[in-house]
Amino acid sequence: MSAPLVLGIESSCDETGVGIVRGDQMLANEVASSVEQHVRFGGVVPEVASRAHLQAIVPALERAFEKAGVSPDELDGIAVTSGPGLVGALVVGISAAKALSLAWNKPLYGVNHLVGHVAVDLLEHGPLDPDSPTMALLVSGGHTSLLRIGNLVDDIEEVGTTIDDAAGEAYDKVARVLGLAYPGGPVIDKAAQFGDPTAIRFPRGLTAKHDLEKHRFDFSFSGLKTAVSRWVETEQAAGREIPVNDVAASFQEAVADVLTAKAVDACQRFGATTLLLGGGVAANSRLRGLLEERTAAAGIILRRPRPGLCTDNGAMIAVLGAQVIASGAAPSPILLGADSGMPVSRSYEAPAA
């Protein structure tokens, strides 16, 4: 089969994404975000997100087909995020994908959102090099993992993960402590540009010698978040003004330091010569910069999608769907359900054996 033409639908959180790809070529990527509707609550409200998906999905589909200049009958398949994510939000995308699959008589593939964050880099940098074993650092709002990638369809092994908060979650919580808007990642990233990353030495989770024995490739951001809160409370109690930019920069430095050090260590331990960065936090400027320095120093090839492709979108789901279809895998059952806890080792929902 020539490169499959795939429609991808994403609705796991607060972005309604519709993408169309041909193999690893992106033809359209329409994203409608409901983030504005969640700002005043300081986090995503599932019911609000579901309703926004319902309103956004049909117009996003129409725009995507118009942009791509293809018609539904040309499709080789429809890929949709089946997990992990918010169940009520996932269900909107899955229902749409099922309806289109039946109406257009096209095979349906339920795929993993997290693996989509890794696969999206193919749209920018082409296929993975089979001669360069790949490790992925996946950093999103809900997940932080190191993944050994044999291939994106059926060979992904999690070699480390967070034992408490995800990196993105820490960003969002620290932003709240600093009185900054939701989502915290982009605002802290911006504030940090004007701050001193060495102003405050915040803890680097799971990097002490005794932690490394059991948790060498695992992460912990809960202690860091608490350390930032305590520091801010102490300063406030003393009547001092909070140097928001310095706190943001120092916090960001602690996150980027741990993520990059462990990622490079994992590459060396598992013999990976390529490191692939993915997930919403992969848009972070300091993480991108420090990773570039440290992978270069270690002789590791760095692959990182442009920031606009790091956050949730439909093209990442479509490109993973294209990989699954190209592998010859059977479509998912039409009774496909949402799986809020879908493990990262399962790239797509295979039919029952």
Distance of closest approach, residue 213 Cβ to ligand KG4, in angstroms: 30
Q: Which does 160 bind (CB under 5 to 8 A by kind): Zn ion, ligand KG4, none?
A: none
Q: What amino acid occupies position 117?
A: H
Whole-angstrom distance, CA of residue 197 vs CA of residue 194: 9
Distance of closest approach, residue 175 Cβ to ligand KG4, in angstroms: 8
* b/e per residue 24-33 (b: at least 16 CB within 10 A): bebbbbbbbb
Of residues 11-50, which lie at the interface with ligand KG4 (CB under 6 A)? 13
From 144-152, 168-176, 202-210, 331-339, span contacting ligand KG4 (CB under 6 A): 168-176
All residues at 6 or more sequence positions from 57 whose CB lies less than 8 Å from its CB, including other chains: 9, 11, 16, 18, 92, 93, 96
All residues at 6 or more sequence positions from 326 whose CB lies less than 8 Å from its CB, including other chains: 1, 3, 4, 23
The reply on whether position 93 binds ligand KG4 by CB under 6 A is no
Q: For 70-73, which contacts have Cβ atoms below 8 Å and span 24 or more sequence positions?
A: 70/5, 70/20, 70/27, 72/7, 72/100, 72/104, 72/106, 73/104
The reply on whether position 169 binds Zn ion by CB under 5 A is no
Out of 19, 93, 116, 184, the residue judged to bind ligand KG4 by CB under 6 A: 184
Out of 76, 172, 246, 253, the residue judged to bind ligand KG4 by CB under 6 A: 172
Of residues 98-157, which lie at the interface with ligand KG4 (CB under 6 A)? 117, 140-142
From 97-105, 150-158, 166-174, 205-213, span contacting ligand KG4 (CB under 6 A): 166-174
Out of 122, 123, 283, 320, the residue judged to bind ligand KG4 by CB under 6 A: 283
Interface with ligand KG4 (CB under 6 A), residue total 20
CA 68 centroid distance within chain: 24
CA 300 centroid distance within chain: 22
Distance of closest approach, residue 141 Cβ to ligand KG4, in angstroms: 3
Q: What amino acid occupies position 209?
A: K
Whole-angstrom distance, CA of residue 46 vs CA of residue 24: 32
CB closer to Zn ion out of 83 and 331: 83
Q: Which does 185 bind (CB under 5 to 8 A by kind): Zn ion, ligand KG4, none?
A: ligand KG4
Q: How many CB atoms lie within 10 A of CB 308?
A: 10
* Interface with ligand KG4 (CB under 6 A): 13, 117, 140-142, 168, 171-172, 183-186, 189, 279-281, 283-284, 311-312
* Interface with Zn ion (CB under 5 A): 140, 312
